[in-house]
Chain A
Amino acid sequence: MLIPSQKLNPNLFDKDVEQIPIRKGFGEGLLKAAELDKRIVGLCADLVESTHMNTFKAKFPERFIEVGVAEQNLAGLASGMSAMGKIPFITSYAMFSPGRNWEQIRTTIAYNNRPVKIAGSHAGVSVGPDGGTHQAIEDIAITRVIPRMVVISPCDAIEAFKATIACSRIDSPTYIRLAREKTPIITTDETPFEIGKAEILFDSRKVAFNPAHKASVAGKLDIGIIATGALLYKALKVARKLNQEGKRVAVVNLSTIKPLDEDTVVRLARDAGAIVTVEEHQVAGGMGSAVAECLAKNYPVPMEFIGVRDQFGQSGTPDELLDLYGMGEKDIHSAVLKLLLRK
C-alpha cells in the first residue's frame, strides 16, 4: 500500500495520470535555485530548449553561457568558473555530458573538487526515435565510479525540481539524470526529498490512507523492489498487482544512487529476503550494481536486475523500446516471480 506520509500523487494509478517530462522539472528547479542564489550560472552546449535551460537563459541572460557544440570545453569552463566562486550548472544530452567529456569531468571537476552540477538530459532508451547514439544507458555507471560525485536520478518532474534546488546547496560535484519524454507524476510538492535518502513508497504490510491502521502488519515481505527514475512508476504498478495477488511487497524510490542509502537498502533486504532492482540503464555498473555491492557486503540476498543487458538501443517509441529491452511491467512482474522461486 502507498505510504501515507509520502504524500504521493492521489491520482497515481488513474488512467489519465498527469505526465510531465523530468527535464522540465529540472528547468523550473534551476530557475528557482538561481533566484535564490546569484552565484548560480548556467552553461549549455547548443541544446538550450531540449535541456530546459531556456527559462533560465531568458530570466538571467548575464548568467547564461552558450558554449556551442563543445562538451569538453563545457566541463572545463564550468570548473574554472567554480574556481572563482560560481555554482555552474552544465547541460547537454547525457550521452555527450557526462558521456563525451567524462575525463574532463573526472579531472577538472571531481579531482579538483569543484561543485559543478552536471545535468544530463535524454537518458535511457525512452529517448525513442533518435536511436541508440542518443540513448545514454551507461551514464550512471560512469558517474558513480568517480570519487566525490553525487549521482541523482529523479523519478518525476517534481522530484527533479527538488533535486535541482537541493544539489545547488551541496558542496559536491553532482550528476542529475534527466529523461526526455513525459512520464507520470508520482510525487507531490509535499513528498519528502533529501539527497542521500531512499524513500519507501509502497509497503503491503501497511494500509494506506487509514489512520486507524498506521502500524506495520507483522511479518516479513515476500519481495523488495528498488527502482530509480521514471521506471519507478512501472514498479509501483507491478507492486500493486502483486499485492492483489497476495504477495507482500515493498517499493523503494532510490533517487540518490550515490551516496547510497545503505540503511534503507539493507533494511529492505532483511525484511524481504529478495530484491529486484529496476532502472533504465545497463545492468552492468548501474543502480542495481550499486545495490548488489552494498548487499553482498552487508546482507546478501538473491537479486534480479531489470535493465538493459549489454546491448545498444535503437529507434522506436519509448514503450516499444522499454518492452523490447526487458524493462516493461511484465518483465518486472516475471522477475519477481522468478526470484520468489530462489528464496
Chain B
Amino acid sequence: MSLTPEKIKFLETKALDIRRSIIESLIEAKSGHTAGPLDMADIFTYLYFHALKHDPKKPAWPYRDRLILSNGHICPVLYATMAHAGYFPISELATLRKLGSRLQGHPHRDWLPMLETSSGPLGAGLSQAVGMTLADRIDNGRTSGKYFYCLLGDGELDEGNNWEAIMFAGKEKLHNLIAIVDRNNIQIDGFTEDIMPLNPLPDKWRAFNWHVTEIDGHNFNDIDRAVGEAKAVFDKPSVIIANTISSKGIPAFERKYEWHGKPPTTSEEIMIARKALGIVA
C-alpha cells in the first residue's frame, strides 16, 4: 500500500520544518555538519512520522522499534526530528554543541538517555544494531514484532568494522534488521569514489547475503516501498541504499563536499541558507 497524497504532503511539510530547524541550530552552534543532516531529513521524517513504532512520551517503552544512528555527526537531523516528534522542546535545538547541553556535538546517551546509542567514531553503529537484533531474537524468536533501523553514512563504509558486522548479520539472517545508507557520494576530503571507491556498493552488500534496495532518498514513495520490501524479506537482513543529494534543500550548497563538516557562518551564507529554505523571503 502506497502513501496517500495527504500523507506525502504532511511528510514534505514536516521535512521542510525539520530542515529549517537543522540549519537554525547549526547557525546558532557556529560549528557542526550541514550536508548529511539536510540530505537525510526526508528519511528521518519518514521514519519518525510514519514507520517507527515508538512513543515520544515513553522513550523507554520496551516494545519500541530501535533507531541506531551510526554516523553520529549527522545528529542535527536526529535532534531536530526528535524535537518535532515531541521528545523534547523544539526551543532546545538552540543549545546544540553548547556547554552543558543535552545535544552534544556527537550524540551521548549520558546527556540524552532517550538515544539508543552514543556515536561519533565511525563504523561502530551497525555492530550495535546487530547485537540488539540478536538479543531480541534470543528473547523473542524470529517472529519478534520489533524492527531495528541502523542509519549509516556512505563514507563511513570505509571502516572495516562495518564489514565485520555486515558479514555477521548475513550469517545470522537477521530479517528484522534494516540498514539505511546515506549515499550522498561525499566525505570530508572529497567525493567517495575519489577517496575510496565504494562501487559496486549494492553488489558488495549482496555478496554478504543482504537483501539490497536502491532508492531516491528524497522520494517518500520510494522510501516507503523499500522499507515495506525490507519488512517482507524473511531470510536476510536488508539494506536500503538511499541515493541523496548532499545539503538537499539549499541548492547553493548541494553536492559540494566542502559543506560536509561546516555550517553557514558568514552573513551571506546564512542568508543564502535561510532564503533557500523559506525561513526569510
Contact = CB atoms under 8 A, between A and B. Distances in A.
Contacts of B123: 72
Given A80-B130, A83-B117, A113-B109, A104 B168 contact: no
A73 B165 contact: yes
A10 interface: no
B117 A84 contact: no
B131 A78 contact: yes
Contacts, number: 101
Interface stretch (B135-143, B202-210, B219-227): B135-143
B108 A111 contact: yes
Nearest to B123: A72
Nearest to A86: B135
Interface in A49-103: 62-63, 65, 67-68, 70, 72-73, 75-86, 88, 103
A70 B128 contact: no
Given A111-B118, A113-B109, A72 B124 contact: yes
A86 B160 CA distance: 26
A68 B168 contact: yes
A41 interface: yes
Contacts of A113: 109-110
A112 interface: yes
Contacts of B124: 72, 76, 103-104, 107-108
Contacts of A107: 118-121, 124
A339 B196 CA distance: 57
Which bracket fits the contact residues of B?
Answer: 20 to 34
Residue of B127, B133, B139, B160 with most partner-chain A CB within 10 A: B127
A86 B132 CA distance: 9
A107 B161 CA distance: 13
B164 interface: yes
B121 A103 contact: yes
A108 B117 contact: yes
A104 B117 CA distance: 13
B167 A70 contact: yes
Nearest to B129: A80
Contact of B117 (A68, A77, A88, A112): A112
Contact of B138 (A63, A75, A82, A112): A63
Contacts of B121: 103, 107
Contacts of B118: 107-108, 111-112
A72 B138 contact: no
At the interface, is chain B mostly helix, strand, loop or mixed?
helix
A185 B125 CA distance: 42
Interface in B103-157: 108-110, 116-121, 123-136, 138-139
A272 B136 CA distance: 54
A76 B161 contact: yes
A68 B165 CA distance: 11
Given A41-B138, A103-B121, A113-B110, A77 B127 contact: yes
Contact of A77 (B108, B109, B168): B168
Interface in B152-188: 160-161, 164-165, 167-168
A63 B138 CA distance: 8
B135 A72 contact: no
Contacts of A63: 138
A63 B135 CA distance: 9
Contacts of B130: 73, 76-77, 80
Contacts of B134: 65, 77, 80-81
B149 to A, nearest CB: 13
A80 B135 contact: yes
B132 A84 contact: yes
B145 to A, nearest CB: 14
Interface in A86-144: 86, 88, 103-104, 107-108, 111-113
The 7 closest A-B pairs by CB, nearest first: A80-B131, A76-B127, A73-B164, A84-B135, A80-B128, A77-B131, A70-B164
18 contacts: A41-B138, A65-B134, A70-B164, A70-B168, A76-B128, A77-B130, A77-B131, A80-B127, A80-B131, A81-B131, A84-B132, A84-B135, A84-B136, A85-B135, A103-B124, A107-B124, A108-B127, A113-B109
Interface of B: 68, 108-110, 116-121, 123-136, 138-139, 160-161, 164-165, 167-168
Given A72-B127, A76-B130, 16 more contacts: A65-B134, A68-B164, A72-B161, A73-B130, A76-B126, A76-B161, A77-B130, A77-B168, A80-B128, A80-B131, A80-B134, A81-B131, A104-B124, A107-B118, A107-B119, A108-B118
